[in-house]
Amino acid sequence: DAKTTQPTSMDCAEGRAANLPCNHSTISGNEYVYWYRQIHSQGPQYIIHGLKNNETNEMASLIITEDRKSSTLILPHATLRDTAVYYCIVRGRTALIFGKGTTLSVSS
């Protein structure tokens, strides 16, 4: 499975867009990019996933570069409840492989 690199932490002001980057330079052609988040001591929550095209749902947007070596998760209007650890995962085999993720802190 391809590995991912994410910043350890990021800050965002409430109401502003949060842009979380992820590098996955070794991704292979049939691997998807998944994003999950985990609010303190809760189970991870699925956010969005994509292969090549940009994706948008009610929670977020996912922008994948043309060469697929990096992606950005966008939370358009961050709220205090978006404070969590965000995991970028490249999906290969059966199970998800979680890294350390990015701790996003949203403040008022």
Give the binding site for another protein (CB under 8 A).
30-32, 34, 41-46, 49, 91-101
The whole-angstrom separation of Cα 73 and Cα 88 is: 9
Of 15 and 99, the one with the shorter C-beta distance to another protein is: 99
Shortest distance in whole angstroms from residue 16 CB to another protein: 28
The whole-angstrom separation of Cα 44 and Cα 30 is: 24
Shortest distance in whole angstroms from residue 69 CB to another protein: 18
How many other C-beta atoms can be found within 10 angstroms of the C-beta atom of residue 58? 5
Of 16 and 46, the one with the shorter C-beta distance to another protein is: 46
How do the residues of the chain divide into helix, strand and coil, expressed in percent and rounded to 5? 5, 45, 50
Of 4 and 70, the one with the shorter C-beta distance to another protein is: 4
